[in-house]
Each structure stands twice: as structure tokens, then as C-alpha cells.
Structure 1
Amino acid sequence: MPLAVDLDGTLIATDLLWESLFLLLRRKPYCLFLLPFWLLGGKARLKCAIAERVELDPASLPYRQDLLARLREDKADGRHVVLATAAPKKFAEAVAAHLGVFDSVISTEPGRNMASHVKREALIAAFGDGGFDYAGNSRADVAVFDAARQAIVVAPDRAAARWHEANGGELFSAEKPTLKTHFKMLRAHQWLKNTLIFVPLILDHDYFDPYMMGLGLLAFIAFSFSASAIYILNDFFDLALDRRHPTKSKRPFASGVLSIPFGFAAMIGLLAVSGFVATFLPPLFGLVLFGYLLATTAYSLSIKRMLLVDVLTLAGLYTMRILAGSAATGIGVSFWLLAFSVFFFLSLALVKRYVELRSTELPTGERIAGRGYRSEDQEVIAQAGMASAFSAAMVLALYIQSSAVRELYSQPWLIWPLCPIVLYITIRIWVLARRNEMHDDPIVFIISDWRSQLVGGFGAFLLFYAGL
């Protein structure tokens, strides 16, 4: 009895149409304007047009290992195994050649989208009504289940699960998303970075003003939701790269625990909520937020692969959070604060690249995947990062000695310990990075590390007391 196996969502925990779409847009963004014209020619035309323009690595896909093991056993027993998929022929044949378990391939070709009833009729024509078993997972597979002798239901959606409850058949369950999975999708721990929005409030001594803090909180929410939306988009563009990374491969979309359509809907929802919250704040905040979205999107599409431009952009994005806090509350920010933030965050951005280079084994002359850096760049990156840390401390020292401090603080001499505190935090991070003991985002590390919390809290106390 032949066994026909669906690909998207069944054999692999993802959808190749979505995967190839984001792969195309990452490499050729202008194709976004061609998508409506391709779609007018039908879904098969859209799939084939995208497949013509991208190369997919079948080895990187998240295969369902339990089902794949079953297919290999059936193949070893001499069973005829067919890959029957709505994916375009180019992708289907690449997957079949990589796995080596399929005797034939039935797939989408121009003018014929091999899904639902079309797939059902093709299998009946090849093997007869009830002359095959079929493994599928979705609503589109229900029509094929009805024509099969036996159904193998894999990680079913609601429609396929209802069919299985009513008709029975073999079941391959999949990992269910948990609340933790959704928090990982949102990168909620990265929201800690958005506390930079409160910096203008703190430096202006408005932390006891409920109205001003309320404005800061609204800005924090809007920025956090926008940031999560961009993290999701970034995950879509980096699926293939993430799957080759030892830790990033466990991310919800790279591993296939969450589907790309679900993530896309979540991204739209997050942006909608962020935009709604921004309407309660001054228009200037909306402009800063929009600029942040443009910059982060550009970073995800191309800037992250540019040597040094990427870290300068990251430093700018951190500084934009401070500007957002200023725009939301109407509190001005000084040249000193902006200069300090650029040098300070440039040092931390360089830490991220340094850690990536240290943790990736590369032959001399080869770039790290998705970046513009080589293994021999480590020392230059470290030197630049340390120099940026000392530059930040120098700017802070010059600020403390300026007339602006004497206007804001009654005892400005109490602020001087901030300089060694900044140096302690940044140099310690670099020491840990060189010891291969830095595994977190530097900003998140500073906020969550008890030593950094202790010295940072002492610095905050000095700022507060100096302003009394």
C-alpha cells in the first residue's frame, strides 16, 4: 500500500511558501511590489514565481523526526513512499533528494496548485480511491483523508483534529506552545532595554510626578510592543541562519513550535496596539517611534550584515529610546546625554559582535553567518569597544564639570563616583566577554546582574541625593 506524505506542516514544522517569501524579501525587497501581480495568476503562479528566485536549503528545515523515522522504516521494508505536497516542484524535489526516502514526487507546478481536492484527485488517479495511505496535518488535507485507506494525522490543526476524532487513524502529536513559548516569541526580556525611555524623567527629577510617569509608561508600552513586532519580523528573515545556531535554533519560529502565519498575525496586532497607545502621546513621539520602526526594519533587512555600520546603528537605536522618552514627556535632552549614550551603547553593541566571533569557530578569511565580521576582527572589535567605554566615562566627567550640572544639582561633587561606576560596569562586561562568560545581551545583563544592580543603585542614590 503506497504512503503519500504531505510536506508543509506535516513532514516539516513550517510552511515553505512563507519561508521562501521572507527569504525572497530579504534578498530582493523590491519583489514586494510584484507579489500582487503574481497572485493574480493564482496561488500556483505565486509559489512558482517565488521558487524561481530563491534557493532553499533542505538540510536546514525543521523535520518532524518521529515521522521521518517512520518513513525510513517503511522505505526499508520496501514500501512505496510518495511526497505529495502543495509546495512548488523545485522545493519538493530538493527535499526528496536530500532525504532519500521518496520514490516519487507530486507537487505544485505552474497552473496547478497541488492542494486539497487537486491533490486528492491526483492521488486517486495514481493509486485509486482508497489505494493509498496519507499523512497530513491541516484543513486542506481533510479531503485527501477521505479518499485514503488510512489517515496518519500529524500535528493537526483544528479541522484535522476534528476529523481524527470523528474518523480515527494514526496520530503523531507535536509540542504544544506554552505561555513561555509566546514570551520567547515576544522577547519580553528585551523590554528591559526600553526602560531607557525613563532616563529623561529621572535626570529631570520627575520620578514622583504621576502624570509624567504615566506618559513614560505609555511610551514604554508602545515601544515594547513595536520592538516585539520587529523581533518577530527579524526571526522570519533569519530562519535559515537561526537554525544553524546552537541556541537560536530553539526559537519558536526556527524550531517550528509556532507557525509563521500565527507570528505574522501577532506582529500586526502588536503594531496596532503600539500605534493606538501612541495616539495618547505627543505627535513627536509618534515620529520617533516611526523612525525607530524604519531603522529596525532596515537593520533586519540589510544593515545587520554591514561591517561596523551595524553596531553604530544599534548604538543609535538605544539612543532613540532616550529621545522617545524626551518626546513623550516634553523633557529636553542635552548634548552631553546623547554623546554619553552613543559611546556607552556603542561599547555594548561591540560586545555583542565580539561574543559572536568568540563563540563561532571560523577559518581565517571567512565571515560569520549573516554578519560582516571575520574571526581575525576580534582584537579590533575589542579595542574599539574598550575605547568607546572610556570615551563614555570621559563625556560623563566633562558633563559633571559643566555649568548644566550646577543648575540641576545642589551638590554636584556627589556625582563624580558615576565615572568609576560606568567604567566598572563596562570593563567588567568586556572582561567576562574575553573569558567566554558573557552569554546574554549586554543591556539585559546589566539590568539583571546583581553586581551591576548594586553599583547602579548606588549611582542612582547619589544622583537623587545630589539633587536634593
Structure 2
Amino acid sequence: MNAAAYPREVLATCAPPLVVDLDGTLLRTDLLFEMGVAFVRRRPRRWVHVVPWMLKGKAILKANLVRETDIDVSALPYDSAVIDLIETGRAQGRRIVLATASHRMLAERIAAHLNLFDQILATEGTINLSGERKRRALVEEYGVGGFDYIGNSHDDVPVWAAARQACLVNPQIGAERRARIQGNISQVVRSNSACAGDWMRACRLHQWLKNLLIFVPLMAAHELTDPAQLLQGALAFLCFGMCASSVYILNDLLDLADDRHHRTKRLRPFAAGRLSIKNGLLVFPLLLAAAFSVAWIFLPWQFTGVMAAYYLLTQAYSLSLKRRMAVDVIVLAALYTMRIIAGGAAFTLPLSFWTLAFSTFMFLSLALVKRYTELHEAHRKGLLEKTRGRAYFPSDLYMIASLGAASGYMAVIVLALYIHEPETALLYERPQLIWLSCPLLLQWITRTWLITYRGQMHDDPVIFAVRDRVSLVIGALFSLVFWLAA
């Protein structure tokens, strides 16, 4: 006879409680680290306060962090496989218990959101409910072998040992081997295994294409065939790529709350719980250290200085400037231009006024494309309030479009003026041919903004350009014009 056919009250007397862990089990994340990065994001100047809290113990640390942060439990990455196990247990009439080392305030909010639990055991006061403490609490409540336990970590090993049956969900490395010694494993669920592709997405390796801007000064100086300079460029490209990946990982950690409310960013590895916050906090400083070590040893100190300025500006952008109207897009344009400045430093080549002016207007236009795309999505949904994490209203998109198109056309004007610069005649045998690049650039800017206006633009216009066949053809023709002019 099917278990569902029995009255719930009868089943509850013969089936032991199903106890579920939270961090890393029901949640594809760790709430302690979630609160930590949320605290740094919200109060960056007070991060040193975490140290004395840690010295007083994990329970005190969690109590202080839960008061200082506001985690949106509805947007957290829950593991659907664990929810299925819980719902199966409820259908069998079992008592469902949430036993977690996370603070009780958060546990209660999660329980209220899911409406799946009959009882909550959690950290409170000075007692951090993990490992042996959790085992003792459950044994006092239900006795040895009087409950089944779903967990994932090494801290859960003593709890599994006291359980009737142990269920492992995405177990930590080595935890499964230790748990199997007990001989009571009923099930191992592998629903969230990270892979190399997740780290590639987190590091945004496709975004390294932007670092090709480092070679612009070399192209402008017509030294692109110099082997020694190309080697310098390759090292600079690698260093800037590692530095940028470190920035992307840290930004993803700080932006978890906002990303989880975004149409596409919620699928990013850290936001979706595919990669752990703990691992991200380990990897980003390693990438940063590698970038600056290689740069300091093999490249001019000026390049290291520009890369340091780039890193500091990105952190200022992530922590504050991205939420300031107009400042955010100007900073984005500056970050693109700093790649060109870094290239000039790596090759020890002077940068012309025309190169910097052109890049500033062009990348400001692209930054505004990015903002317009976000606002267009909010406008399409009928939202009226400010977009999350930004200083713009959906109704601003028409002004954003005007400013963006104007900035793009200003870049064309700078290019046209550059053709009449006396120094241009010294660099090119046929400088008049460069005029052909102006209609090509006008075509690309106009088409890009029309696509953006129709809501067909990728979140990142640079990635769109790399994947768009028309953009690639225009880019090839643009390069051909300068080659013929030389």
C-alpha cells in the first residue's frame, strides 16, 4: 500500500524526523559568507569591525552580521533536489526539522519563506550549532538513531554518525569517505558540481578581448611587427587579464544581492551557487597577486602603476560609483581608456590627444548602451522605480539614448579632425583614405543604437560586437582602410 494512503498522524509515529542542514545543503551557498560580503558591500569602511567579532566566536560574529545586513531569503539559491526530498518526507507524514549553524533569525526567515519545516534548531546566543554541538542537540531531542540527516560537510560527519540514515548532498571533498565509515548512508545526491566552465565564466575569459586595447598604441605607432614589443604586449595582456578576472570575481561576490534579481546575471556561477563564496575569496587575491608579480618583474613600473589605478577605480566603482548617476558611465568609459593608457606604458610609447579623445567618446557611448539595455528591460516590465543598484529610472532611457548616440558621433568628429592633423601626414602615405573610415564608423554607431533602441542588444555591447557578423565586417573594413592609408 502507498505511504500516502496512510493518515499523516499514523506515519508520523513510525517514521523518524527528517533533519535538514542549511548551508551547502538546502542552500547552494553559505550564509556566513553571504552576510560577510553583504556587510562589506553595505559598510566598506567598517570591515575591520569583523575582526573583534571573530575573536569572540562564530556565534557572536553571526549575531552581529545578521543585525548589520539584510539578506533577501527569497532570492537565495535553493537546491531543488533537497526541496524534493523534503516534500517527499512531508508526504510520508514525517516531521521536518531545519538544523543549521546559521543564526536563528535567518533560519526563521527562510523557514517562513519555504513553509516546509515543523521545527528549527539554529545558532543563537553564544552557541554555534555545528559539528558536535548539533549532534548533541539532535541526540537530546530524538536519541541516537532517532532521526535521518541530510548534510554536506565535514562538520556533519558526527551528526551522520548519530543518525539512523545519512543522506549526503554535494558532499565536500573527503566528507563522503569519512561518512561511509559509519555504514548508514542511504543516498548521495550530486545536484551541484562545479566544473572548469563555471570558473571560466566567473573569470570572464571572453572579456579579455577588451584587453586587446593594450595594443592600440602599438598600432598607432606602426610598430605592430616588432617582436620585442609584441612580447611586451602579450605579457601586459596576460597581466591585465588576470587583474580584470580578479576584479570580476570580487565584483560578483559584492553584487550577489543585485545579480540575483537580474534577468541574466542571476545565472552567474556565484549568484546561482555553482561556485562557493569561500573559493571566490581565495581565488581573487591569488589572481591579483599573480598579475602584479608578473607585471613588476617583466614590465615597466609605469604599467604596474596604471594597472593599480585601474584596480582601485574598479573597486570604487563597485562599492559606490556605480550607484551615482552619470558618474557610473563616465567611470566605465575611463576603465576602457585606461587599457589604452596601460598599453602606452607597457610599450613606453607616447599617447596622442586624438587617441585618448576618440576612446573617451566611443567608450562613453558603449557604456550608455549598457545602461540603456538595463533600463529598457525595466521599462518593458512596466517598472517605475529606480533600477536596483543604479541611480536611473526606466523613464530615463530616452535621454540615455540621446546622450549615447551624441557621444558616438562625437567620436566620429574626433576621427575626422585627426585626419587633418599635420602629424597624421607623417604617419600615413595616403591620409586622405582615412576619410573612408568615417562613414564606416557612422554606420556601426547608428546601427548599434538602433538595435539597442529595439531591445535587441546584449548586456555587454563589446561582446555583441564580437559575435555580430555585420560588426565584424565593419571592423575588418575599418582596419583595412588604415592599412591602405599607411
What TM bracket, shorter-length normalisation?
over 0.9
Match of 1:370 in 2: 389
Contact map agreement 1:38 1:49 (CA 8 A) in 2: yes
Matched AA of 2:220: L
Q: Which runs of 5+ in 1 are unaligned?
A: none
Contact map agreement 2:157 2:179 (CA 8 A) in 1: no
Q: Provide, for residues 187-233 of structure 1, a one-character-per-residue CA deviation record: whole Å limited to 9, x for no partner.
A: 11111111101000001011100111111111111111111111111
Q: Provide, for residues 110-141 of structure 1, a one-character-per-residue CA deviation record: whole Å limited to 9, x for no partner.
A: 32111111111111111112221111001111
User: Within the alignment, does 1:89 sit opposite 2:104 as a pair?
Assistant: yes
**2:174 partner SS:** helix
Contact map agreement 1:14 1:256 (CA 8 A) in 2: yes
User: Within the alignment, does 1:315 sit opposite 2:330 as a pair?
Assistant: no
Pairing partner for 1:53 from 60, 63, 68:
68
Match of 2:304 in 1: 286
Pairing partner for 2:131 from 116, 126, 130:
116
Match of 2:249 in 1: 232
Match of 1:346 in 2: 364
* Alpha-carbon shift at residue 363 of structure 1 (Å): 4.4
**1:134 partner SS:** strand
Question: Whole-Å Cα distance in 2 between the matches of residues 53 and 35 of structure 1?
Answer: 11
Pairing partner for 2:262 from 245, 261, 278:
245
Question: Whole-Å Cα distance in 1 between the matches of residues 443 and 125 of structure 2?
Answer: 62
Contact map agreement 2:251 2:318 (CA 8 A) in 1: yes
User: Within the alignment, does 1:145 sit opposite 2:160 as a pair?
Assistant: yes
Match of 1:324 in 2: 342
* Alpha-carbon shift at residue 362 of structure 1 (Å): 5.0
Matched AA of 1:349: A
Q: TM-score, normalised by structure 1?
A: 0.97
Write out aligned runs for 1:60-139 (5 A).
60-139=75-154
Match of 1:261 in 2: 278
Pairing partner for 1:456 from 465, 475, 480:
475
* Alpha-carbon shift at residue 445 of structure 1 (Å): 2.1
Question: Whole-Å Cα distance in 2 between the matches of residues 452 and 67 of structure 1?
Answer: 46
Question: Whole-Å Cα distance in 2 between the matches of residues 410 and 37 of structure 1?
Answer: 68
Contact map agreement 1:362 1:375 (CA 8 A) in 2: no
User: Within the alignment, does 1:12 sit opposite 2:27 as a pair?
Assistant: yes
* Alpha-carbon shift at residue 440 of structure 1 (Å): 4.4
Matched AA of 1:329: F
Q: TM-score, normalised by structure 2?
A: 0.93
Matched AA of 2:306: V
* Alpha-carbon shift at residue 268 of structure 1 (Å): 1.8
Q: Provide, for residues 144-192 of structure 1, a one-character-per-residue CA deviation record: whole Å limited to 9, x for no partner.
A: 1111111111111122221344433222212322332221111111111
**2:97 partner SS:** strand
Match of 1:404 in 2: 423
Question: Whole-Å Cα distance in 2 between the matches of residues 8 and 43 of structure 1?
Answer: 15
Contact map agreement 1:282 1:327 (CA 8 A) in 2: yes
* Alpha-carbon shift at residue 425 of structure 1 (Å): 1.5
Q: Which runs of 5+ in 2 are unaligned?
A: 1-15
Matched AA of 1:383: S
User: Within the alignment, does 1:277 sit opposite 2:294 as a pair?
Assistant: yes
Matched AA of 1:339: A
Pairing partner for 1:213 from 227, 230, 246:
230
Question: Whole-Å Cα distance in 2 between the matches of residues 444 and 210 of structure 1?
Answer: 29
Question: Whole-Å Cα distance in 1 between the matches of residues 340 and 105 of structure 2?
Answer: 48
Question: Whole-Å Cα distance in 2 between the matches of residues 110 and 296 of structure 1?
Answer: 39
Contact map agreement 1:351 1:382 (CA 8 A) in 2: yes
Query: Which one is further off, 403-412 or 318-327?
Result: 403-412
